[in-house]
Structures are given as structure tokens and as C-alpha cells.
Structure 1
Amino acid sequence: MKAKLLTTISFFTYQLSISQTEKVLNGKVLSQNVPLDKVEVINKTGKTSSRTNEFGEFSILAKEQDSLLFFSKNYLFTRLKLTLKDLEKNYLIVEMNPKAEELENVIVSKSVFTKTEIKKIVNNKDEINKIIIRKKFDEVTSKVTVYDGRIKNGLDFSYPIFDKPKKKIEPRDDRFRKLVIASCSPDFFIKNLKIKPEEKELFLKFCDADPKSKILLEHPNVLAVMDFLYDKNDEFKKPK
């Protein structure tokens, strides 16, 4: 009887330790049995993020009841709340569904304004607003410099002995983040959206994954950007 009691206590102690302890969780993201590369994996609860490799594999710190978010621009957003069974398996298989095919945006070529058209723009608050936002966006973009990884007076690795296949690193597109910064005041996320400071970057990644964010880049507008952030905020905070 004592042996059974000790075994039961040990089992529940083990389960409790798993559920309360953060551990590295491994998994794979698929769509119709095809591995998905560069899928953003965000632990909303633990405030950490990761990304799948070319084989669809990922690793992320997590514990029981953590909420994991999976999103990619060509697939439907997926949310998963971790259970004790998920942690015990230590290997998640996540299935994502492709989005419906969308028509490409129609781009209107620029033309020279007549005097009448200029007067209309001057008297149109929406048009003036677009020009101001575009100017702010261009100013933020022009100030950003990218470090190319070169070391001054470093060794020359161009000799044959050092020749190795170079893996192409694609820089992340942060134009949407810059547009939001140019459009919204610093306290907008805290006062209006009720987003905690530590969740701001995760929320921006979540919004940027939506194809609608690219439409805003083509037609920047303060009200449109804020409406989009309000809509995504409701989805971001929605429980499973």
C-alpha cells in the first residue's frame, strides 16, 4: 500500500514539475504534408519567438497553458494552447491551411497634376494626410542603415582554402513597423490598444503577417492604419 502511494505521489509530482517548468519544445509545421519554411512561431505567454527552418522544424521555450501563434503570409493564422500531453510528447506536428488566392493590387501610375487637381488636393484632408504619412515614412526609412557584417582590416577569406557555399540571408521587411511608428504616438499601444510594452513587438509581427498590412504600405493613411491595428488587436487578444 505504501509503495502504491509513493508511486502515485511521484507521478503527480512529476506531472506538476513538467506543467510548471519551462522547457525546449520541438516541432514541425506542415501544409498538406509539405514542410513550411520561415513560419513565425511566437509564444505569446512566454513572450519569445522562433522561426521554422527549410525542413519546417522549430524549437521554442514553453510550458503548459502557453499560447503558441503560428503565421505566414500565405497561410491562415493558427493558434495552439499547449497541454501537458504536448509537453510530454516533446514534438509537435502543426498543420497550417493555405489562404485563398487573392488578386494582386492594382497600381495606378503617377501623372503630372494640373492646377485644378492641386487645388483639390490642398482642400482634401485625406490627401494631405496621406502625403504627411508618406513623408514621415520616407524619413524613417532613409535614416536606417544596415550593417553588412564586414570587419575593418579583417582577414581576406576569398582565397580558395576558405571557399564555402554561402547561405543567403534575407533581411526582414520592417516597412510596416516603420509606417506604424510614423502614424501612431508612443502611448497609443498602452492607452488605446491596452497592449503591454513587452508584447508590442510580438503584436507588430502578428499584424505584419496579415497581407492587408502590405496594402497599407501602398496607400498609407493614419485612420486606416489605426483601424487595422484595432481589428488585429481584437484577434490578438481573442482566447482560443
Structure 2
Amino acid sequence: MPDVKETRTPARFIEPGKRGGDLDLDSQPVNDFIAFLKQHHTVVDPTMAVWEDTYLDRPGQVAKSDLAMFDRLPVQVQRASKTGGGALTATDPVIDRQYRACYANMVRMVKKLHDSGVQIVAGTDMGSGYALDRELEIYSEAGISPAEVLRIATLEAAKVMYKDQDFGSITAGKYADMILVSGDPTVNISDIRHVALVMKKGDLYRPAELYQAFGIRPE
């Protein structure tokens, strides 16, 4: 984007949003870029949850990252979630379509990166812990299998941090940091939202009790 002279402004979000939907993900420049990432062992953190809110949230609608939790959240958080405050202005129908096309292409890019062997880690660039659940759901929506998404969030993350000897999988000799889930996230990644018990450093935590401390209604 040679016409964008200053990127320390919202232009770094606005201009890619207007043009990202037009990017041909099968073009040679994109393929060369992915090859460059692989050659340099670059790890990509897509932070798709925050991009979904940035490009798709609209005033009066529940933020995408809050949608699954919305009815359980405190009233003041519900109000904030419907302001569209985390999104770019898209009152112009043309810009609205551009932003939606850009986000859809970003989702496709995540799948292309993964299929091409580029290392992905699951981050959100957001404040709430449950935004990570949405991040993983987006990877699944992109076409990555739920089992592989779960691996990205656990063992692959540990490998990136050179901690896979101690963390990342339930294996003899590793730290017993784990969650007990009601469901099977290897089949439906959204089951990761239904955590019944957390074990950390030998201590047990019950999410139902912790949620109440934050004013969130337990499941």
C-alpha cells in the first residue's frame, strides 16, 4: 500500500480492511510470502478473535467474542458488548462489505498458513480469558480439525516456548496442569467452553465458583 504514508494511526487497520478482501491467496506473492515464513521458522499468532470484533462488530449487536457467554455476563459488560466500541466504523455499506470480505479472507489465510506448514499459536490480543475459546472456534470454522486446533492450543504452544518437556500434553513426567471438560473438544472445539475442573500446580479450581467472583453466572 504505497499510498499509505503513515501507519502509526488507525490507517493500519482501515486500509487493510478495505483491500484485504481483494487479495488472491493463491497468487505468487502470497505463496512466496508463506515460503519465506517457513524458511525462517516464523511463528504466526493470528489473533483472529480481535480481528473478528474489529471488522464485524456493529453498534447494537453483541460482540462476536462475547456472544456465547453474553447471557451470563454482568449487565454492565453486556451493555459495553453491544456498543460496537471495539470495531471500526462501517456505516457506509461499501465499507461494511469490504470489512466483511477482508475478515473472511483472513480466516481463509489462517487455514492456508496451517496447511502450508507455518507454525500457528493461539492468541487473542484481548482482555477476557474466554476470548481464547472464540479464537479456537474460528480456527475450526476455517477448516482446521477440532483435534488439530486443540493441539495448536496445547502441545504446539508448549513446543514454541521450548516447554514441551514439561507441559502441553497429559504424559507421565510432565506437570499435571490440565482441565476437565464436559464434552469432547476433539470433535466439537466449542466444548472447550464447558470446563468443569482446573488443576494447576496440584491445586484444584472449580470454574463455577470462580465465575461468581467476577459476577458471571455459572453454566
- TM-score bracket for this pair, using the shorter chain length: under 0.3
TM-score by length of 2: 0.21
Instruction: Please say which structure displays the higher CA radius of gyration.
Output: 1
TM-score by length of 1: 0.19
The answer to which structure, 1 or 2, has the higher relative contact order (CA under 8 A, 6+ apart) is: 2
Q: Which has the higher helix share?
A: 2
